[in-house]
Amino acid sequence: MNLSFSGSGFLLAFHIGVANYFRRQGYISAKSRFAGASGGSLVAASLAYDVPMANVLDETKNTARSIHEDLKKKKMFNLSSYVNKHIGALFPEDLPIHDFPRLVIATTQVWPRVRTVHWTDFPNKDFLADRMLLSCHVPWYFDGTPARRIDGKEWHADGGLLCFVPEVEDHVKVSIIPMPWDRKTISPALIPNFPISSARLLQWALLPPSNEMLDKIVSLGEEAAEIWDVSRSQGDSVAA
């Protein structure tokens, strides 16, 4: 099974839940491939490099706690520094070598042309971290700048600006935005009477909820994945 994760911000907890379910069911293997944009790239990369989802959730909670502490003290925070620490804590200095490309990280090139770019080759941890930071670069919100220049010529920003869920062949899409019009995508729309409003989801994508709510969002991701899986096995329209 191959998975493509949407931009998510701190709602990457939903993606973690989806990954947890499929890993328990044995659908994720050494041959699985992953793609991600923005916050989804952190989960995709963690799966590709065998970082336990429990570690990803713990680090997300640490980041959330630090942000709320900074907001109390300084009334502001620099998201880029937190994401950089998050990445540094999760990934080994020597990345495992893959026999085939297992990971796609999406960024949005905004100049000299506008397009989505898929990165698939990560020679070392620094390069991987750089592309994940680029994929998470929400204009102005991430570090106060609209985009970042790379290779001395191109400007890139958040990977979900043009295509919220990376379009990669043979990958099941996972989105934190409810998508009732697309029943092939694993999203909150699959859960009857989903308990969180779209406005609240947007708020929590940008500013982390409590650690208790992060745990709840993980469980909702697991529930959505199970509904998708059961519906697919029954051959009905949810996963058709």
Q: Is 38 a catalytic residue?
A: yes
The C-alpha atoms of residue 134 and residue 165 are separated, in whole angstroms, by 16
Considering 6, 41, 135, 158, which one is annotated as catalytic? 158
Sequence-ordered strand ranges (E) for the chain: 3-5, 34-37, 103-111, 115-119, 148-150, 154-157, 172-174
Beta carbons of 168 and 118 less than 8 angstroms apart: yes
Q: Is 70 a catalytic residue?
A: no
Residues linked to residue 77 through DSSP beta bridges, in sequence order: none
Considering 8, 38, 46, 175, which one is annotated as catalytic? 38
Residues linked to residue 108 through DSSP beta bridges, in sequence order: 116, 157
- How many other CB atoms are there within 10 angstroms of residue 8's CB atom? 30
Per this entry, what is the length of the chain? 240
Peptide bond into 101 cis (omega under 30): no
Catalytic residues: 38, 158
